[in-house]
Structure 1
Amino acid sequence: EEEMSAFRDLVRMRSTVVANCSDLQRKLKSKLKIHMPELLKTFRSISSPVLLHLLSVYPSREEILANEEDAVKLLSSHRNWSEEKAREVIDSLKDSIGKPDTFGTYSTITSIFITEIKLLKEHVEALDEEIKKFLQKFPDNPLRTIPGIAEITEAEIVSEVGEINRFSSGKAFVSYIGLDPVIKQSGNMTRGLSISKKGNKHLRKTFYQLAKNLIKNTEKYKNKYEKMIERGVKKKVALVAIARAAAEMVYQLLKNNVPFDLSLS
């Protein structure tokens, strides 16, 4: 129990760091929309290593254009980046519709964002290594046989569930996660079914992600999801149904220590 508690703290810490990093990336994206919106057309992901490298050296449009040739060299030094492509990106900034960094404030703020994002990414990498060491203690974990399951998803389930035998049934396990359906009522009005959300919020989030992976990687879950959508079920409701089915399946895997089988779905 003490070891599993330590593992749970480690995995939850990773979730916190990832959330903080995502928050900073959203704020950085908002600044770029104001100051250099053209970069967002080239870099679809704000976490692009190339974009972060460029902004860590030249955090404003003014600095990029003042060091145009060096900025081109920086971009073209990256894999799959030609000098022609690099120049196109720099040239797009020459007629930017973005707000100028008249007082240097955007440059300062951007530099801080980049520094913090890089540091948080390093923390995630370090935590991933520690998590990987913990997972080696469970070499025959049946969760690894689930198609498309990520290592961090396995870690989240293992650390949050602990001993599966403490749950009397798959239904009890689903209830613990908070994916069990309940009737929503307001006074004398019944407004249909919803999930209880009274269980483990960390596991609930994990099973939403697992449901997405199963829809992507298995025909059975994909077909089940698509049929619900065709019947008019809202996407979020359909995803919850898949997450609930995934929870029941995971319970069977852990309880009986058997590999993934579509018949368990």
Structure 2
Amino acid sequence: MYIGIDVGKVKHVAGFVSTTLLERHQRFEACPALAFENSREGFRALVERIQSLAPLEHCFILMEKTGHYHLALQQYLQECDLPVYTIHVQTRSAGMLKTDKRDALGLANTLYNQLQLGIQVADETHLVRRAEPPTAASAQLKGLIRHRYELVRESTQRKNKLTAICDEIFPELTTVLKDPNLPTALTLHEKFPTPHAIATASLMALQEARGYTRTLPDSKLLELQRLAAGSIGTKDVIRQRGLVLEQGQLITELRLLQEHIGQLESEIKTIVAQAREGKILLSMGIGQIQAATIIATIGSILNFPNAGTLKSYFGWAPMREQTGTTFDRSHLTSRGSRTMRQMMFLIVASITRQETEWAYLC
């Protein structure tokens, strides 16, 4: 029995296709289907309907990867020892009748063709793949890595805005402090938000704002005051007032984001250090956050039948384009996970700088 499930936010539709059903109904569109709620009771109703048609050990299920809506159902079915396959979201031909029942039966027919009849597909996006349950470490890290990625992106946005404000209020600051978003620079921005405030402040007040860091000696503080006295930053008082208010809020938001990123990274590093796959990756010279990204992305190594499919998913598989004798070139595939393509470049750049065997191969 081959079952295709059209996933929705509130309700799912399952279509059933088998050799017996096709002999009886002639066309897969006429095979039976079941609409069920996206709830525990709905999942149980689906399993009961499957059991009424065939033994569970003879059933195979296919779903499209539709964000996160299919994950709860996929986990429930795997807990029932039902083999679950996934496929990329399929596009439909123009003018084709569109109903949830037809979509579900179409998925079931696709699974029947590939598993029962052994039909091969030229387009890999139409290939069904067995979905293995993620490892314990992967299940823990997936949400943490995604949240860290979002926080880092938001942190970068705040830094860019703060740099833009600094360029408008006090552009000469970067001649003394190369990075206007360092902790020392942010403290100075908070206590002395305008060049006039810096220029008129006492040296003792600047020293207190500086703290105990050695990157900003007294000579640089005096140079900062001299530059502030002749700054070309905006002199519009109304504009300055708005920029100072925005700058203060951005600094508060940035510090909160950095605090949360630090908490996430601490938890991530603990999980990686304790996980078996984490220890393997760390022994290769890969960093803890990079190893965590790999573990979270692949879920389970059983999802990849060979090294080639894993490399392709990482975006490191060669693609060759050839036409006669006039066009012949090779490049890395653009498929796979965008996050892993970016992370692989960082991993290679990091490893080649270390004293390892990998460095001598580059």
- Both structures adopt the same fold (TM-score exceeding 0.5): yes
Q: Take 1:197 and 1:182, find their aligned partners in 2: how far apart are those partners?
A: 9
Q: Measured at CA, do residues 185 and 101 of structure 1 come closer, stay the same or move farther in structure 2, by a change above 3 Å?
A: farther
Q: Which residue of 1 aligns with 2:304?
A: 167
- Deviation of 1:191 (Å): 7.2
Larger-Rg structure? 2
1:97 matched to 2:237: no
The structure 2 residue matched to 1:143, chosen from 276, 281, 293, is 281
Within the alignment, does 1:119 sit opposite 2:256 as a pair? Answer: yes
Q: 1:56 to 1:150 in 2, by over 3 A?
A: farther
- The alpha carbon displacement at 1:169 in A equals 1.9
Q: 1:24·1:117 contact (CA, 8 Å) conserved in 2?
A: yes
3-state DSSP of counterpart to 1:141: helix
Q: Which moved more, 1:68-77 or 1:85-94?
A: 68-77
Deviation at 1:205, TM superposition (A): 1.3
Candidates 222, 226, 241, aligned match of 1:87: 222
Q: Aligned residue for 2:161? A: 27
Unaligned runs of 5+ in 2: 1-133
* Contact 1:54/1:71 (8 A) holds in 2: no
Paired letter, 2:347: L
Residue identity in the other structure for 1:21: S
**Deviations for 1:76-134, whole angstroms, at most 9, x for unmatched residues?**
43221433332222222111122235211221121122111111101101111221232
Structure 1 counterpart SS, 2:235: coil
Aligned runs of 1:1-265 on 2, under 5 Å?
1=134, 3=136, 4-69=138-203, 71-80=205-214, 81-103=216-238, 104-138=241-275, 141-147=279-285, 149-183=286-320, 190=327, 192-218=329-355, 221-222=358-359, 225=362
Decide whether the 8 Å contact of 1:72 with 1:90 is kept in 2.
Answer: no
Residue type at the aligned position of 2:232: I
Alpha-carbon separation, structure 1, partners of 2:247 and 2:140: 36
Distance 1:39 1:177 in 2: 42
Alpha-carbon shift at residue 10 of structure 1 (Å): 0.6
Which of 1 and 2 has higher RCO (CA within 8 Å, sep 6+)? Answer: 1
Question: Cα deviations across residues 138-186 of structure 1 (Å, max 9, x unaligned)?
Answer: 1671111233x32211111121123223322221111111222224689
Amino acid at match of 1:91: R
User: Counterparts of 1:136 and 1:215 in 2: how far apart (Å)?
Assistant: 22
CA contact (8 A) 2:196 2:229 kept: no
With over 3 angstroms needed to count, the CA separation of the structure-2 counterparts of 1:151 and 1:2, relative to structure 1, is: closer
Output the CA distance in 1 between the equivalents of 2:160 and 2:205: 24
Please give the secondary structure, in 2, of the residue aligned with 1:197: coil
4+ aligned runs moved over 6 Å, structure 1: none
Q: Which residue of 1 aligns with 2:74?
A: none
Q: Deviations over 1:193-213 (max 9, x none)?
A: 332222111111111110110
Q: What fraction of aligned residue pairs are identical, expressed as a percent?
A: 21
Alpha-carbon shift at residue 71 of structure 1 (Å):
4.1
Greater shift, 208-217 or 161-170, is seen at: 161-170
Q: Larger helix proportion, structure 1 or 2?
A: 1
Does the Cα contact within 8 Å between 2:203 and 2:221 map onto a contact in 1?
A: no
Tell me: CA distance 1:46–1:223, structure 2 relative to 1, closer, same or farther (3 Å).
farther
Q: Secondary structure at the match of 2:353?
A: helix
In 2 relative to 1, CA 220–137 (structure 1 residues): closer, same or farther, beyond 3 Å?
closer
Code of the residue aligned with 1:144 in structure 2: it is L
User: Aligned with 2:237: secondary structure?
Assistant: coil
Contact in 2 for aligned 1:214/1:222 (Cα 8 Å): yes
Give the whole-Å Cα distance in 1 for the aligned partners of 2:159 and 2:346.
21
Q: Which amino acid aligns with 2:188?
A: L
Structure 1 residues 64, 146: CA separation in 2 closer, same or farther (over 3 Å shift)? same
Instruction: Say which structure is richer in strand.
Output: 2
